[in-house]
């Protein structure tokens, strides 16, 4: 190997190494978003806490209304849903909430994209509603204002409601 080749190798090796380090070092979002279940009032709520400029602010994601759940089921479903949604945020994978019927039961689940239902292999069921409940209506009524679409989807033109797990003003 001549001197010119060794200078090229010595010059490019650190650049390639630095590039690999930068590519692997992705900033973590897990510390800035926390999903919890708040049970300090009569209706449990899934709360998204977002740290903006070092100041945390809470946004209500889902409100476990008494018309859809018993008191015990509301707390348990709230806690399980918060845990599942935290995992969604921790992995950084965008998800949508949707309502569907699965095995003849009304459910709300997290899916990876619009157009797929709760029966898709990648769907994650968050909670089951009462058999008589309309799942799309229940999901719409349970959503917090920062996660709710401007108006309920028209069931004549769209079979399912899809709501992004990130609010419309999402800063990331």
Confidence at 23, pLDDT banded by 50, 70, 90: very low
Q: Which two tokens stand for residue 135?
A: 């799942």
The average pLDDT across 3-8 equals 53
Q: What is the pLDDT of residue 27?
A: 41
Distances (CA, A) of 53 to 32, 86, 171: 10, 21, 11
The pTM of the full predicted model, rounded to 2 decimals, is 0.74
pLDDT in tens, 47-57: 999 877 778 88
The average pLDDT across 26-50 equals 79
Tokens 């309502």 belong to 99
Average model confidence (pLDDT) across the chain:
79
The average pLDDT across 158-171 equals 68
Confidence at 146, pLDDT banded by 50, 70, 90: confident
Alpha carbon dihedral 125, 131, 137, 142, in 10-degree steps, equals: -60
pLDDT in tens, 78-87: 999 999 999 9
Contacts of 33 (CB under 8 A, 6+ apart): 48, 49, 50, 51, 89
Q: Which two tokens stand for residue 162?
A: 């899809």
Q: What is the pLDDT of residue 22?
A: 37
Separation CA 163–CA 167 (nearest Å): 9
């Amino acid at each position: 190997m001549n001197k010119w080749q060794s200078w090229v190798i010595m010059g490019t090796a650190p650049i390639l190494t630095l590039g690999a380090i930068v590519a692997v070092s992705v900033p973590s979002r897990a510390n800035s978003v926390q999903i919890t279940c708040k049970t300090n009032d009569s209706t449990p709520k899934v709360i998204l806490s977002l740290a903006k400029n070092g100041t945390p602010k809470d946004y209500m994601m889902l409100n476990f209304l008494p018309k859809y759940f018993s008191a015990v089921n509301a707390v348990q479903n709230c806690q399980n849903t918060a845990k599942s949604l935290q995992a969604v945020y921790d992995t950084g994978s965008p998800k949508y909430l949707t309502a569907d019927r699965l095995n003849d039961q009304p459910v709300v689940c997290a899916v990876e994209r619009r157009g797929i239902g709760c029966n898709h292999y990648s769907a994650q069921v968050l909670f089951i509603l009462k058999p008589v409940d309309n799942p799309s209506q229940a999901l719409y009524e349970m959503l917090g204002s920062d996660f709710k679409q401007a108006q309920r989807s028209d069931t004549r033109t769209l079979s399912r409601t899809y709501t992004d797990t990130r609010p419309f003003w999402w800063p990331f």
